[in-house]
A and B are shown apart, each in its own frame.
Chain A
Amino acid sequence: MNPAPSFSPLARVLHWLMAVMILSMLFIGIFMASSVGPNYHRLVTLHRPLGIAILVLALLRLTYRLRSSPPPLPNDLPAVMKLAAKVSHILLYVLMIALPLVGWGMLSAGGYPIPLWGNSVLLPPILPHNPTVWSWLRYAHTVLAFTLFGLVLAHISAALFHGLIRRDTVLQSMTHTKTSL
C-alpha cells in the first residue's frame, strides 16, 4: 500500500498552529466574558492581538487553500460524510474569519478604543459608533463563538473517528510527516 497523501508541510503547520490558537482563544473568551476576577484585564488584553493574529493567519490559509488541492477523502467514504466534511470545513473557515471581524466591529460600534499592543498601538474602528449595533454584535460574538466551539468538537470527533474507527488515511494526512506527493 502506498503511503497516504498528506497535507503539505505549510498546510500542517498552519493547521496545528491555528488549532492551538483557536482553542486558547475560545477558552480565554468564555473565561473572561464570565469573569470579574484579577485576570480579566490581562485576558482581554491578550484576546485582541490573538484574535487579529488568527484573522491574518486564516486569510493566509484561505488563500493557500484555494490555490492548492488537499489530499482527497477516501473513495469509500459515504457521500453524506463527504458532504458533512465539506460543509463543516467551509463553516470553520467562515467562523475563523468572521469571529475576529465581529469582535473588532463590536468594539468599534461600542465606541471603545481598540488597543492591539500595549495601549499605544490602536486598531482603527471598522464601524461607526452605534450602541445598538454594539449590543447586537456582542451577542453575535458569543453565539458564533459557541458555534465555532461546537464545530471544533465535531471536527476533533470526526478526526478521531477516521483514525480510530474507520482507520482510514484522513487523520494521518494531517498528522503524518511522510508524503507521497
Chain B
Amino acid sequence: MAEKSTGPSGSALRWLGVAVAPAALALGFLWAGGWLSPHRVTQNRLMGELHKAGSYGHGFRRAHSKGVCVTGRFDASGAAASLSNAAIFQEHSVPVVGRFALGAGQPYVTDNPATVRSMALRLMPTDAPEWRTAMNNPPVLPLRDAQDASDFFASQRLDPETGKPDPARVKAFGATHPWLQAAADKNARRVISSGFADDTYHSLNSFLLVAENGTKTAVRWAMVPMQPMAPSDGKGEGRDYLFQKLIADIHDHPLQWRMVMTVAGPHDAVNDPSQTWAQEDRTIDAGTLTLNTVESEEDGPCTGLTFDPLVLPPGIVASNDPILQLRSAAYMRSFALRSGEKRGSSAITPAMTQTPESESGKKS
C-alpha cells in the first residue's frame, strides 16, 4: 500500500502542505468579500446605513420609495446623432416607461417641496438595446465617491429619541467634507418648482457619448420641462398633493420635456458629480420626452425594474465618475432585497391614478 511503502507520510510538514493551499484560498475569498476589511464601503454596509437612516424596506425601494409609474415616448431631434450612434438619438416614437419619485426612503412620507424629486426612464427602441437613466432635480450631487456616500448616509442615521437625524452628526458631516460645501450651497439656493411637471431633472453623473467614428464626448444631460415653470409656494393640502397634482396634470394634457445635453468644456470635472460645470458649455437639444399616462406602482410597469444608470445602449458609455458604479451596485442590491419581500400597498393607489373618464365610465 502506498502510504506504508513510502517514508513518513503522516509527518506534520506534509499535512501542512495539504492545508496551506486551501487555507490561503479561503482567506483570499474572505478578503475579496470584505470580511477582513471592516472599513470598506460594501453594498451591505450601504443598505444597513440606509436602513438606520429610516429607509422603510418591506418590498419598497431603499431610496426614492414613494413614486408613480408613467409611460410615453421619446422623439429624437437628430441633433445628438453626430456625437453618439445610439439608436435613441435618431429614432422617433421610442416607447418609454418611467417613474417619478420623492428622494426619501419612506413610501408614505408627506409630500414636501424641498424633498428631492426624481425622474427615471427606460427608453426602449424596437430593434436596439434599451437605455435606463435616473435623474434628480437638484443641479449637482453633493457626493464625490463611495466613501462620501457612506459617510453621508451614516450622518442621516435617525436618533431613536427624536426620530430625526442628529443635527450634530449632520453638521459634523459638513465640517469633515468641505469639498462638498459648494455643491450643497448650490442645491440649497436652487429655485424649487411647483411640482413634478414643471421641474428640471439632471443626470448628475457624466457619461461619454460615442460617435460612429469612435470619438468620445463627455456630457451631462437634463430633462427641461416644456411646461412653464412656476416657483413652489411651499403650500399643499394632504399627504400626496405633489403626486395628485402630477396625476391631474398628465390627465389634463401630455407632459413634455426637452433632453438637453451639455458637452463638457476643457475645465469641467467629468469624474466628480459634486462639481458644477461652466456656464458657457455647449448644449444640444437631443429630443423631446412626452409622457401621457400615469399609473400606480401597484402592478405598474415601472415597479419590477431598477433604473440602473449603467444599463446603457451602444453609443453611450460610463464615465470614470465613481458614483455611477456606486449607484449601479446599490440599485441592484436594493432591487434584490425588495423583490424578495412582501410589499405593502403604495401611497399612490390605482384608484388615485384612474382617469376621470374611466371613473365616470364605471359609475354609469
Contacts and interface: CB of A to CB of B under 8 A. Distances in A.
A113 B146 contact: no
A119 B28 CA distance: 31
Interface residues of B, number: 56
Given A113-B311, A157-B18, A167-B3, A135 B339 contact: yes
B328 A40 contact: yes
Interface stretch (B190-198, B236-244, B250-258, B317-325): B317-325
B314 A41 contact: no
Contact of A166 (B3, B43, B129, B310): B3
B2 interface: yes
Contacts of B9: 164-167
A: interface residue count bin: 35 or more
A64 interface: no
Contacts of A32: 329
Interface stretch (A22-30, A52-60, A65-73, A89-97): A22-30
A127 B59 CA distance: 22
Given A36-B42, A36-B43, A36-B146, A31 B32 contact: yes
B22 A36 contact: no
Nearest to A161: B18
A120 B42 contact: no
B10 interface: yes
A110 B132 CA distance: 14
Contact of B325 (A41, A115, A129, A153): A41
Interface of A: 23, 26-27, 30-41, 44, 74, 76, 110-113, 115, 118-120, 122, 129-132, 134-136, 138-139, 149, 152-154, 156-157, 160-161, 164-168
The 10 A-B residue pairs whose C-beta atoms are closest, nearest first, are A135-B340, A135-B339, A131-B339, A131-B304, A31-B32, A160-B18, A40-B325, A120-B314, A34-B34, A153-B22
